[in-house]
Amino acid sequence: MDARVATHAHRSFSRLQSLLRQWEAADKVATHKLQELVDSLTRQDYLSPEHAGLLGVAGLNFQALLSARATLERRSLQAWASLEKLQAELSNIVDAVSMLSEELQKEVGCAVFMKEAGAMTLSNAAHLAHKAAQMLRSEVQLRHSLLATAMPGLRGREAEEERRRLLLVWMERPFSSSEEVGDPLHSVNAAVMLALS
C-alpha cells in the first residue's frame, strides 16, 4: 500500500474514532438529561396536592410549595429541551458517520467487508463506518420513538412505573455505550483502535 493510501486510511479511521467518541459523549449527556427529567417529574408528583399531608409537605407554606413546583417544572422543561437538542446532535453524528461510510464505499468501489481484522485499509474503514452508521441510525430512530411514545405518559402519580421503564430501556441499549465488552459499539470501537495502534 502506498503512503498516500495509508495516510488516507489512517485519516478515515481517525475520523470514525472521533465521531464515535462524540456519540459516546453526547449519549452520556443525553442519558443524564433524561435522568434529570424523570427526577424532576417524580419530585413534582411528590409536591402534588394529593401528597399535601405526607412527610411534612403540609408544613410548607403555600408560596413555598408553589415556588418549588415552578422550579421543578422549569427544570423538567430545561431537561426536555436539552434532551431534544442532544437527540438532534446524535442524529447529526449519525449523518456524519453515514457520509464517511458512503465516501469510503465509493473509493473502495466494491462490496465492503473486513479483509483482515486490525489492518488499516480503506476497505476495513469503510466496513466499520458502514456498520457503525447502521447501528447508530437504528439507535437514534428507536430513541426518537421511545421519547415520542413515552413523553405523554410520564406525568402523574401513575406514571412512576413508565418513567422507570423508559430509563431502563434507554440505558440498556446495546449502542448506548462502548464500555461493555461484547456490545456491538464496543466491537466497532475496538476494531478502530486496533487499526490505529
Give the residue carrying C-alpha cell 489512517.
10
The domain spans of the chain are 3-196
What tens-digit pLDDT sequence spans the chain (197 residues)? 577 877 888 898 899 999 999 999 999 999 999 999 888 888 887 777 666 565 555 556 667 777 888 898 899 899 999 999 999 999 999 999 999 999 988 887 765 555 555 677 888 888 889 999 999 998 899 888 888 887 777 777 677 888 888 888 888 766 555 555 557 777 787 788 878 77
Residue 112 pLDDT:
52
- Rounded to whole angstroms, the Cα distance separating 81 from 37 reads 10
pTM: 0.81
Sign of torsion over alpha carbons 66, 69, 71, 74: negative
Q: What is the pLDDT of residue 25?
A: 92
Q: Are 192 and 16 in contact (CB under 8 A)?
A: yes
- Taking the C-alpha atoms of residue 192 and residue 120, their distance in angstroms, rounded to an integer, is 9
Residue-wise pLDDT tens digits, 67-76: 888 898 899 8
pLDDT of residue 19: 94
Element (H, E) at 77: helix 62-108
Residue with cell 446524535: 90
- What per-residue confidence (pLDDT) applies to 176? 55
Pick the CATH number of 3-196 from 3.40.1130, 3.40.50, 1.20.120, 1.20.58: 1.20.58
Q: What are the Cα distances from residue 32, in Å, to 18, 126, 151?
A: 21, 32, 16
Query: What local confidence, expressed as pLDDT, does residue 74 receive?
Result: 93
